[in-house]
Amino acid sequence: MTQLHTVDKPRIGITLGDLNGIGPEVIIKALADHRLLNLMTPVVYGSTKVLSFYRKMMNLEEFNYSQVKTKGQFFPKAINVVNCWDEVIEINPGQPSRQTARAALLCLKKAVEEVREGLIDGFVTGPIDKNTIHGEEFPFQGHTEYLTQEFNAGESLMLMVGHDLRVGLVTEHIPVKDISSFITRERVELKIRLMELTLKKDFLISKPKIAVLGLNPHAGDEGLLGKEEIDVIRPVIQDLKTKGKLIFGPYPADGFFASGQHSKYDGIVAMYHDQGLVAFKTLSFESGINYTAGLPFVRTSPDHGTAYNLAGKNLANEGSMREAMYVACDIIKNRSTQLVEK
């Protein structure tokens, strides 16, 4: 049986992230552009008191919002706010705090709960502080790992998305010394397949062309600088090619981006975090976003952290947060236009 679902104006959840970071500021600045309300119904998970604090700090008294009184009853032409705690939380912009980290987790859990219940269509996560949030309730390296487990996805793909650039990672938040042990045929193939699937389903590219980077300098230099390309990466690429996939590489990462080859591909698979993100943020900073591909629900985030050094100074650029909202809307609409087998 096939089922068609359309979403004209997605309900987008937005978690505040760490209250002492720049999350609340960039969210307010992004939503202050009322054109967004024509494309989406924003639902902010956090606290009206926190928004009031930052609204006053930034002298944006014309920024208005509506508190959600009844679960799931959102105003379609307003900025909705779901209060996620009752107690008073002290806000000290720029200062890491266990209390504000716990508040960030409450925002995240509430958004996960309501997307599961179908009350929102997807969500955007504000930046968290991995050091202060880490603990028994959140024993994860970041949002990606938490959401992958929370939604029983098995595996996901951390995908950085810019206007004409999409970079996915084989390994994510792991120490550099451990990367090589994670570069297995199974993992590399899985991540490439997740990249192909999301390019088709979420970005509507019918026959995606994907580049794969090597792990070692000069992509191993034919084994002189490492064997992973010969033993692992190249055999996976060759096998996928025999199955009709447009997969190419492995390419040396430095020359690949420096020569502009990235513009010839719909997606790029990097072996580790900094290999992909240094190039991505150089090319797409303040407009690029992070998308967790492979989840049953759409989750995006800005491509920056809490930026405590900027918090409370009204200096943070909201471009990446705004783009994360736009991309979430686009992907939800792309998914909704497709016939999904049930």
Given a cut of 90, whether residue 163 has pLDDT beyond it is: no
Does residue 117 carry a pLDDT above 80? yes
> When comparing pLDDT for 12 and 285, which is higher?
12
Considering the domain architecture, whether residues 139 and 179 belong to the same structural domain is answered as: no
Considering the domain architecture, whether residues 85 and 200 belong to the same structural domain is answered as no
Residue 4: is its pLDDT beyond 90? no
Among residues 151, 126, 113, 110, the alpha carbon closest in space to that of 26 is found at: 126
> Residues 105, 170: one domain?
no
Task: Judge whether residue 18 has pLDDT over 90.
Answer: yes
What does the pLDDT read at residue 141? 85
Phi, psi of 32 (to 5 degrees): -65, -20
At 314-337, the pLDDT tens digits run 999 999 999 999 999 999 999 998
pLDDT over 70 for what percent of the chain?
Answer: 97
Segment 129-133 shows an average pLDDT of 94
Low-confidence winner among 2-11, 113-122, 156-165 (lowest mean pLDDT): 2-11
For the purposes of burial, counting CB atoms within 10 Å of the CB of 342, is it exposed (0-12), middle (13-18) or buried (19 or more)? exposed
Per-residue pLDDT at 326: 96
Q: Which of 30-39, 239-248, 286-295 has the highest mean pLDDT?
A: 239-248
Residue at which a domain ends, from 294, 309, 325: 294
Domain residue limits at 269: 155-294
The answer to whether residues 138 and 17 belong to one domain is yes
The pLDDT-based confidence of 3 (bands split at 50, 70, 90) is very low
Residues making up the chain, counted from first to last: 342
Helix axes 98-116, 143-150, angle to 10 degrees: 40
Could you give the CA distance from residue 305 to residue 63 in angstroms, rounded to a whole number? Answer: 24
Confidence of residue 37 (pLDDT cuts 50, 70, 90): very high
Give the pLDDT score at 5.
Answer: 37
The more confidently predicted of residues 183 and 258 is 183
* 191 against 153, higher pLDDT: 191
pLDDT at 266 over 80: yes
Same domain, 222 and 338: no
Residue 110 and residue 32 share a domain:
yes
Same domain flag for 133 and 196: no
> pLDDT band for position 219 (50/70/90)?
confident
Banded pLDDT at 284 (limits 50, 70, 90): confident
Asked if the model's pLDDT at residue 1 lies above 50, the reply is no
Is 142 in the same domain as 186?
no
The CA distance from 155 to 328, in Å, is 20
Total domain count, the chain? 2
> Which pLDDT does position 286 carry in this prediction?
76
Q: Residue 51 and residue 178: Cα distance in Å, rounded?
A: 41
Give yes or no: residues 178 and 50 share one domain. no
- CA dist 130 and 142 (Å) reads 6
What's residue 220's pLDDT?
81
Mean pLDDT value of segment 93-100: 96
pLDDT of residue 6: 45
167-186 b/e (C-beta count within 10 Å ≥ 16 → b): bbbbbbeeeeeebbeebeee
Q: In this model, does residue 112 exceed pLDDT 60?
A: yes
Question: Residue 22 sits in a domain of what CATH number?
Answer: 3.40.718.10
Buried b (16+ CB within 10 A) or exposed e, 229-251: beebbbebbeebeeeebebebbb
pLDDT (mean) for 293-304:
95
183 lies in the same domain as 331:
no
**CA distance linking residue 36 with residue 118, whole number of Å:** 21
Query: Does 315 lie in the same domain as 280?
Result: no
101, 190: one domain: no
